[in-house]
Structure 1
Amino acid sequence: MNKTIIAIDDQPDIRKLIRMTLEFKDFQVIEADSGEAGLALVRQHRPDLILLDVMMPGLDGFAVSNTLAADPELRRIPVVMLTALDRPKDVEAGLHTGARAYLTKPFSPMALIQLVGRLSQEAPPSDAA
């Protein structure tokens, strides 16, 4: 069965790039355009991995990651921060929320494939309904 990835980003072009990149390697990609919508999809689909932008209106990526980390049923899903924020303090803040990795935009599609492939293999089996 294909691994399921949820991409949470308010920029449609970034979500499209993520989807096209990962579907090329047979990942199933579900898109969300906000932190709130992303959390709902995570609860519904229990993905193998979450790609999460930081700067979004409403719930930002740090808040989403903190919410996931506080939920016993969701905290084991690997989160990758995928953002333009590249200062050391931003990376530290992202990892402090429980994110497993931090990838900055613009990103290499090959780096994304490798990172997602590695982390999704480490993820616990999906128990989606």
Structure 2
Amino acid sequence: MKTVLIIEDNLEIRENTGEILELTGFTVLSSDNGRHGITLAVDSKPDVILCDIMMPGIDGYQVIRELKANPLTASIPFIYITASCEKSEVKLAMDMGAYGYIRKPFDVDELVQLINTCVE
């Protein structure tokens, strides 16, 4: 089974996304903040990381910076899930090494397809 780490400060989104992914056959780890998410990523080395951008404390940009700088997590596909639809933010995310960028509210099939593409 492939493991997905969800880093999302919104409890409802985090739990709903986790349930959807578990029903699709993924093992799910989750964190409600960037610092804990980084620790989970280093300790568990998930197959894919889903991360919000706007979070208190460490935002999603800092999360990807730290994970891409760490040899243990640098190659893990990283997908942003965010409410922002600014083209400049999408470009920044991709320039920082994100594999994908999904806008909330997201289409479940689109998310699962993107994750499957990452783990194949």
Question: What is the CA RMSD across the aligned residues, in angstroms?
Answer: 0.7
What is the CA–CA distance in structure 2 between the aligned matches of 1:114 and 1:53, rounded to whole Å?
18
Most deviating of 31-40 and 91-100: 91-100
Match of 1:23 in 2: 22
Deviation at 1:73, TM superposition (A): 1.7
Runs of 4+ in 1 over 3 A off after TM superposition: none
Gaps of 5+ in 1: 122-129
Q: Percent identity?
A: 36
Match of 2:117 in 1: 118
CA-to-partner distance for each residue in 1:79-116, whole Å, 9 max, x for gaps?
00000111100101111211111111110111111111
TM-score where L is the length of structure 2:
0.97
What is the CA–CA distance in structure 1 between the aligned matches of 2:86 and 2:98, rounded to whole Å?
16
Superposition pairs for residues 1-129 of structure 1, below 5 Å? 2-121=1-120
Decide whether the 8 Å contact of 2:45 with 2:72 is kept in 1.
no
The count of aligned residue pairs is 120
Letter in 2 for 1:81: Y
